[in-house]
Structure 1
């Protein structure tokens, strides 16, 4: 088997898909448009795409699964500021004075995700 998509329930698939497209740099499928009940953010192979599906209920508890992102071409702190500018909010800041650690953020619909320190940091 191959993991094809990671599916995220949400209230507005196009808006949340566009947010994640901007975060990742991966395109929203050209078959999707505002108002659609399903929106796919297409990841480069072999990475699974992100599929956003409209559901009637809102998010009420902490996610059981979340993304841990490692910056490429930027620092952790630069990426944290970049995604805040795209609409994310800081949830918990686990950065340490020695440069280690991560930041847990919330996407526009409250889903948790982390940005870890870049691999090149020592």
Structure 2
């Protein structure tokens, strides 16, 4: 017996707003049943589990133990710039001189995410 991953759940203060941010990040649509003010929303990814946003009353207080790692179809630097323009914040730089490594950003609610080297640059 095995279990399939249905979704990746992200607790947040504003489920609809954060889902809209991640919809822009991934280029994938919100679940058509989602609307502003909904306490539960989802982004429908092309493959794999959906991103599920669950509105909770308590704020984020520490480092995420699980986070998303993104591999852009352009360059890492172009994607970092794009995500910052969408509302992400810079947290840390782990790029290496040989081009490997990653950049850590946070989404608008402070959840960490990593931006890896892009497909156009080769795989780390």
TM-score, normalised via structure 2 length: 0.92
- What's the secondary structure of 1:94's corresponding residue? strand
What is the alpha-carbon distance in structure 1 between the residues aligned to residue 115 and residue 46 of structure 2? Answer: 20
Structure 1, gaps ≥5 residues long: none
Between 82-91 and 94-103, the greater mean CA deviation after superposition: 94-103
Match in the other structure for 1:54: 55
- 1:10-61 alpha-carbon deviations (Å, 9 max, x no partner): 000000000000000110111000000100101113x110000010000000
Q: Structure 1 segments of 4 or more deviating over 6 A? A: none
- Give the aligned partner of residue 110 of structure 1: 110
Query: What secondary structure does 1:90 align onto?
Result: strand
* CA–CA separation in structure 2 for the residues paired with 1:104 and 1:121: 18
Gaps of 5+ in 2: none
Q: How does 1:1-122 map to 2 (within 5 A)?
A: 1-45=3-47, 47-72=48-73, 74-122=74-122
Q: Work out the CA distance in 2 between the residues paired with 1:82 and 1:119.
A: 16
| CA distance in structure 1 between the aligned counterparts of 2:117 and 2:72, rounded to whole angstroms | 7
After TM superposition, the score normalised by the length of structure 1 is 0.94
Q: Distance in 2 between matches of 1:10 and 1:89?
A: 16
